């Protein structure tokens, strides 16, 4: 593999003006919404106006195919094919054409026996894709203590697996008493290396180089800078021409930025429950599990906060997130629990939500 030619699916990261340090409050227009001529809800405003296509792709799912307990992750390959991870059946990943037509289910290996139903169910969670030489590969993290991180070909064939024991052999992290393992996400370095994030378990990121050799761990549990409480997702931020690792430190309600050597650079507050990150050009996209999706500009100022509505959020979070299993209460143009989101090549946004039965929303850019 020619790792010097590696690029990730989340857009070709542009060298742009330097990233600022402060997150400012969003303009009042950012929550604006109205109906389009098609009858679909319109959210946002100005350059960040989108038509909400809720339940994108669901009508094409064959009988017996469902997202189960939740839809979790989304990634898009160079041909525009969309990959959605889930806790349903069959497999752990559903693949769709750009039109929303279902293509296949895959990765049956990464499933568990559900103690409630007695059925085998998927455990797809964090997913991303990268070009390596002449091929694209999926990197998948199932959020389950018995399952490994995997590198997968686009046809579903598993290239390698990294288990808890493999990570411990490299790092010794799990020798510490009461250290759990429950992975959440992956991300890529510009030199061909990558990070594996144990966001629900040890709260560490594990860095590997382009030859799959262990380099270091980053983080660990805590609230101080450089530590995490649920590092749920992470991504590469090279918007100012200097590559940085940015981590969605979810339960600490912040983003943290690190050098490529793992040194803490800065912390960006102002989030609620940030779940993951995507970058396209000068923009950074942050799905927030608390019912909104934030877009930041090259100076890390909020330019759009899609779905922001404090009263709606209060309803969503009431009774221990009960609304996630009550689709009759969901409203058009509103989010429940955005768990992952990414740009496509046209600047549209795909949002997947942690809700029972799953939900994928395509935000089609209209201006």
Res. 31 pLDDT band, cuts 50 70 90? very low
- Whether residue 255 has pLDDT greater than 60: yes
- Residues 180, 233: Cα–Cα separation, whole Å: 17
Q: What is the pLDDT of residue 2?
A: 37
Asked if 182 contacts 190 with a C-beta cutoff of 8 angstroms, the reply is: no
Tokens describing residue 215: 């380099």
Q: What is the pLDDT of residue 37?
A: 62
Range name among 38-42, 216-220, 255-259, 309-313 with the lowest pLDDT average: 38-42
* Average pLDDT value for the chain: 91
Q: What is the pLDDT of residue 117?
A: 76
pLDDT tens digits, 35-67: 666 679 999 999 999 999 999 999 999 999 999
Cα–Cα distance list, 254 to 222, 226, 237, 261, 353 (Å): 13, 12, 15, 21, 20
CATH T-level fold of 3-284+307-365: Neuraminidase (2.120.10)
Res. 201 pLDDT band, cuts 50 70 90? very high
Cα–Cα distance list, 83 to 36, 100, 107 (Å): 28, 11, 12
Residue 358: partners with Cβ closer than 8 Å, 6 or more residues away: 58, 66, 67, 68, 70, 71, 84, 86, 88, 352
Place of tokens 């990268």: 130
Cα–Cα distance list, 309 to 43, 100, 194 (Å): 12, 29, 36
Beta bridge partner(s), residue 334: none
- Angle in degrees, CA 350, 49, 345, rounded to 5: 40
- Whether residue 30 has pLDDT greater than 50: no
- Whether residue 4 has pLDDT greater than 70: no
- Whether residue 9 has pLDDT greater than 90: no
The DSSP letter of residue 327 is: G
Asked if 321 contacts 22 with a C-beta cutoff of 8 angstroms, the reply is: no
Q: What is the pLDDT of residue 10?
A: 47
Of residues 1 and 152, which shows the higher confidence score? 152
pLDDT tens digits, 230-249: 999 999 999 999 999 999 99
Of residues 164 and 20, which shows the higher confidence score? 164
The stretch 99-126 carries a mean pLDDT of 90
Percent of the chain exceeding pLDDT 70 equals 89
Range name among 110-119, 128-137, 160-169, 321-330 with the lowest pLDDT average: 110-119
Q: Which residues in 90-213 belong to E strands, given as ranges?
A: 93-96, 102-106, 111-113, 120-122, 126-132, 135-141, 149-153, 158-162, 185-188, 194-198, 204-208
- Whether residue 32 has pLDDT greater than 80: no
Handedness of CA 326, 332, 334, 335 (dihedral sign): positive
């Amino acid at each position: 593999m020619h790792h010097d030619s590696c690029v990730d699916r989340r857009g070709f990261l542009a060298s742009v003006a330097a990233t600022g340090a402060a997150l400012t409050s969003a303009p009042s227009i950012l929550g604006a919404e109205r109906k389009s001529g098609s009858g679909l809800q319109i959210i946002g405003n100005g350059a960040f106006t989108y038509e909400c296509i809720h339940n994108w792709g669901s009508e094409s799912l064959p009988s017996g195919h469902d997202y189960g307990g939740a839809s979790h992750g989304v990634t898009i390959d160079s041909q525009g094919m969309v990959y959605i991870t889930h806790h349903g059946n069959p497999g752990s990943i559903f693949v769709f054409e750009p039109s929303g037509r279902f293509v296949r289910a895959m990765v049956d290996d990464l499933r568990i026996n559900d103690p409630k139903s007695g059925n085998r169910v998927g455990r797809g969670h964090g997913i991303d894709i990268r070009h390596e030489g002449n091929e694209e590969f999926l990197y998948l993290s199932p959020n389950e203590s018995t399952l490994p991180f995997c590198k997968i070909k686009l046809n579903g064939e598993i290239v390698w697996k990294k288990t808890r024991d493999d990570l411990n052999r490299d790092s010794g992290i799990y020798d510490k008493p009461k250290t759990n393992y429950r992975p959440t996400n992956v991300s890529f370095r510009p030199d061909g290396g990558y990070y594996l994030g144990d966001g629900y378990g040890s709260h560490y990121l594990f860095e590997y180089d382009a030859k799959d050799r262990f380099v270091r761990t980053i983080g660990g549990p805590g609230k101080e800078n450089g530590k995490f409480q649920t590092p749920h997702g992470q991504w590469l931020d090279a918007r100012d021409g200097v590559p940085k690792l940015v981590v969605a430190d979810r339960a600490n309600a912040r983003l943290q930025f690190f050098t490529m050597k793992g040194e803490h650079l800065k912390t960006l507050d102002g989030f609620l429950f940030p779940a993951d990150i995507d970058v396209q050009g000068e923009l950074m996209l942050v799905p927030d599990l608390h019912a909104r999706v934030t877009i930041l500009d090259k100076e890390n100022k909020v330019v759009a906060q899609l779905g922001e509505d404090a009263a709606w959020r209060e309803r969503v979070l009431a009774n221990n997130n009960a609304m996630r299993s009550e689709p009759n209460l969901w409203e058009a143009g509103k989010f429940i629990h955005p768990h992952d989101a990414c740009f496509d090549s046209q600047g549209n946004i795909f949002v997947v939500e942690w809700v029972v039965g799953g939900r994928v929303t395509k935000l089609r850019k209209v201006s």
